[in-house]
A = this chain, B = another copy of it.
Amino acid sequence: MSSDPVEDPQTAAIEQLEQFGLSAYAARTFVALSSLGTGTARDVSQVSEVPRTRVYDAIDELHERGLVDILQSSPKQFWAISAETASRTFEHELQHRTELLRTALGELEPAERRTEQRGVWTVDGQTAVTERVLDFFASAEEELVYMTVEELLTEDLIEELGEAADRGVSIKLGGVSAEVQERIQDEIPGATMFESLWVWSDTSAGRLMMVDGRKTLVSALVNGVDAGPSDPRSETAIWGEGDTNSLVVVLRAIFTWRLDAEEPT
């Protein structure tokens, strides 16, 4: 899906430009012009393999987007804005768009979202799961238990943990190696560590968390079946919320049992 921007800059750039709403021709035209700096329809057509007659349409599209300037001569000459300017332009536009989306969605979001008592929700994909975990961290008020394999303990998670700790949430971390424990202790002095509840298998591990004894999440990495080893879409999780939620009840039982055993209050 996404090419390496250093290995194959052409393809990578074209890919992104198309994602940002440009037509295939416009994307390839812009990439061609970027490496040329400046050129005619003919030049562009040769390096981009866009039919010469359609370069003009592509240029129109790019000109309207402010990515290409036109020299009115014969033959017409086209000039692509610099890589830096182009990126900045897109960045601004997309920043603006996400802001629009944010206010629009915020506007129509109901005041209070019902917290589900029954049932267990599923999330797929590592980024999506991480996002959910971050939400949970952010909503923690008193206690936060997080058990994970190290590869899933990323910078942003540690950061969010730190913030939770700052507002007085008691953090309990498990499953991390001795070396990493050191580092965590530095960044989040308030955190307490505990040993893995069981032998945390390397193969199909995941995360396990509980927030304030009323929100829980369990995830597993699903390598091997039909997902590559480092495929970000290779994690699947379930979570539940509410005091009487079945998943919550089960996990709370386990956690309280083991944690109390290790460090009795």
Binding site for B on A (CB under 8 A): 2, 5-6, 9-10, 12-13, 16-17, 19-21, 31, 34-38, 63-66, 69-73, 77, 79, 81-92, 94-95, 97-110, 113-114, 116, 119-125, 127-128, 131-132, 135, 233, 239
CB-CB nearest in chain B for A237: B69
A85–B133 Cα gap in the complex (Å)? 11
Q: Are B108 and A31 in contact (CB under 8 A)?
A: yes
CB of B124 within 8 A of CB of A38, answer: no
A173 to B28, CA, bound (A): 40
Contacts of A71 on B, CB cut-off 8 Å? 116, 119-122
- Count the copies: 2
Which of B2, B92, B97, B114 sits near A19, CB closer than 8 Å?
B97
Cβ-closest chain B residue relative to A88: B131
Minimum CB distance partner of A66 in chain B: B128
**Would you give the shortest CB distance from A254 to chain B, in whole angstroms?**
22
- Bound complex: CA of A5 vs CA of B105, how far in Å? 8
Contact residues in B for A77 (Cβ distance below 8 Å): 119
Establish whether residues B35 and A122, one from each chain, have CB atoms under 8 Å apart when the complex forms: no
Contact B113–A86 (Cβ < 8 Å): no
